[in-house]
């Protein structure tokens, strides 16, 4: 993308697998499988374009309410993605990070997520943040519980709590907030995704269903991002990311 400074951190709500399948008379599972293909292409494109951090909303805390058969399909795809793609991600220098609650996960799924993190821990290429069993309200509640425990133990006073302190208690406090959040499928809401971190993110909603998302769609979203003026609450727009 000549002439464009690439945002450092891009986050994507990958939406529309089921509607993509329904529009073609296919089962929802096929939409999810094609969504994995779109993910592969997007991770590859993000690395080639120089994006430093790509966060994907892969499975929300609310998704457990879906039919059991669909959850089995999704978990199967997660297993295959890690087993089949992890070696290539590692070879390409991708570092995998996982955010979200892990305590009640199936031990096999939890082990796979930890395996992905452990294998790629030392990589210095694209950081791929996988939001799995994730909900932003739940993340903020976990942060509040950690702070409450500190207060209860006498290690800090309630008056010591600041926005920065809350941020440091979130799931990945070392990562910068996303510059750009993209949601596919035409829906225009965050759906409990990165609510704290999105305070000053640019939001771009695209009509494309996730299985059809590709490098061109990513470049178009970034072009829209560059048409925005990011003031961060001030009067003067800041350039760059």
**Which is catalytic among the residues 17, 63, 160, 179?**
63
Domain ranges of the chain: 9-137+177-226
63 is catalytic: yes
Quick: pLDDT tens for 67-118: 888 888 888 888 888 888 999 999 999 999 999 999 888 898 999 999 999 9
Q: Is there a catalytic annotation at residue 171?
A: no
Q: Which CATH architecture has domain 9-137+177-226?
A: 3-Layer(aba) Sandwich (3.40)
Question: Of the residues 15, 73, 171, 179, which is catalytic?
Answer: 15
Encode pLDDT of 179-195 as tens digits. 999 999 999 999 999 99
Q: What's the per-residue H, E or C state across the chain? A: CCCCCCCCEEEEECCCHHHHHHHCCCCHHHHHHHHHHHHHHHHHHHHHHCCCEEEEEEEEHHHHHCCHHHHHHHHHHHHHHHHHHHHHHHHCCCEEEEECCCCCCCHHHHHHHHHHHHHHCCCCCCEEEEEEEECHHHHHHHHHHHHHHHHHCCCCCHHHCCHHHHHHCCCCCCCCCCCEEEECCCCCCCCCCCCCHHHHCEEEECCCCHHHCCHHHHHHHHHHHHCCCECCCCCCCECCC
pLDDT, one tens digit per residue, over 126-140 is: 999 999 999 999 999
């Amino acid at each position: 993308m000549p002439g464009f400074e690439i945002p450092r951190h891009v986050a994507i709500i990958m939406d529309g697998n089921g509607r993509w399948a329904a529009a073609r008379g296919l089962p929802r599972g096929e939409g999810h499988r094609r969504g994995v293909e779109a993910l592969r292409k997007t991770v590859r494109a993000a690395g080639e374009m120089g994006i430093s951090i790509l966060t994907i909303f892969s499975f929300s805390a609310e998704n457990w309410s879906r039919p059991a058969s669909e959850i089995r399909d999704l978990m199967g795809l997660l297993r295959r993605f890690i087993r089949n793609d992890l070696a290539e991600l590692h070879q390409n220098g991708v570092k995998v990070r996982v955010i979200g609650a892990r305590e009640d996960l199936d031990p096999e799924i939890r082990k796979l997520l930890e395996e992905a993190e452990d294998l790629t821990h030392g990589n210095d290429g694209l950081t791929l943040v996988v939001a799995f069993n994730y909900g932003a309200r739940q993340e903020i509640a976990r942060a509040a519980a950690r702070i409450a425990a500190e207060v209860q133990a006498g290690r800090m006073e309630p008056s010591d709590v600041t926005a920065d302190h809350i941020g440091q208690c979130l799931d990945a406090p070392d990562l910068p907030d996303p510059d750009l959040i993209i949601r596919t499928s035409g829906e225009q809401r965050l759906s409990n995704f990165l609510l704290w971190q999105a305070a000053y993110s640019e939001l771009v909603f695209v009509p494309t269903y996730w299985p059809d998302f590709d490098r061109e769609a990513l470049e178009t979203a970034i072009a829209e991002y560059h048409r925005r003026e990011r003031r961060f609450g001030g009067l003067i727009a800041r350039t760059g990311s």
